[in-house]
Structure 1
């Protein structure tokens, strides 16, 4: 009988440790995804600003040289394409369940258990 109780306590402790590790991993994943979102947003904003200001100014300065204006416009299109690709990088957008929510739910269930 004592052995059964010991095994029960051991199993409970292992379960609790596993849930704690899972919750910690989910919180870490959420932090990583949030950081990626922030970096992508910042990069897209900077690219947009460069296209609106620097490349526009460059096109105006190079106006007498049509071949250079064409190259500047090509750079503009490439920068816009990169910004579009970066915006699609966050594949997890629109997923109905976030790692943070799962971590909170798992922690709540463990506390309740």
Structure 2
């Protein structure tokens, strides 16, 4: 898998941008992923990141999600991540150790993407 695409939808009122990622969230696409995430963040007061169609995720993709979380938190915005139970996302989280209950040192408000569990 080496294709990546993302759709960014921002309602006219700019309250919450939704970015739906499809394909590979990997090092080969890091610049485009970063640009797409920043575009979504700059367009709204919150971001919904939908990972349910991700087919491949590496440590760079995971780190970009963490960077998005840090930026959202610093800007006082909100982040919701969907699709954490996707097989590719779950596997990458486990391999990288992100499936553990511990949060990163930067997670001062308890909003770590990896420590939360998506509701069924």
Greater Rg over alpha carbons, structure = 1
TM bracket (short chain): under 0.3
Query: Of Structure 1 and Structure 2, which has the larger fraction of its residues in helix?
Result: 1
Query: Of Structure 1 and Structure 2, which has the larger fraction of its residues in strand?
Result: 2
Q: TM-score scaled to structure 1, two decimals? A: 0.22
| Greater relative contact order structure (CA < 8 Å, 6+ sep) | 1
Q: TM-score scaled to structure 2, two decimals? A: 0.21
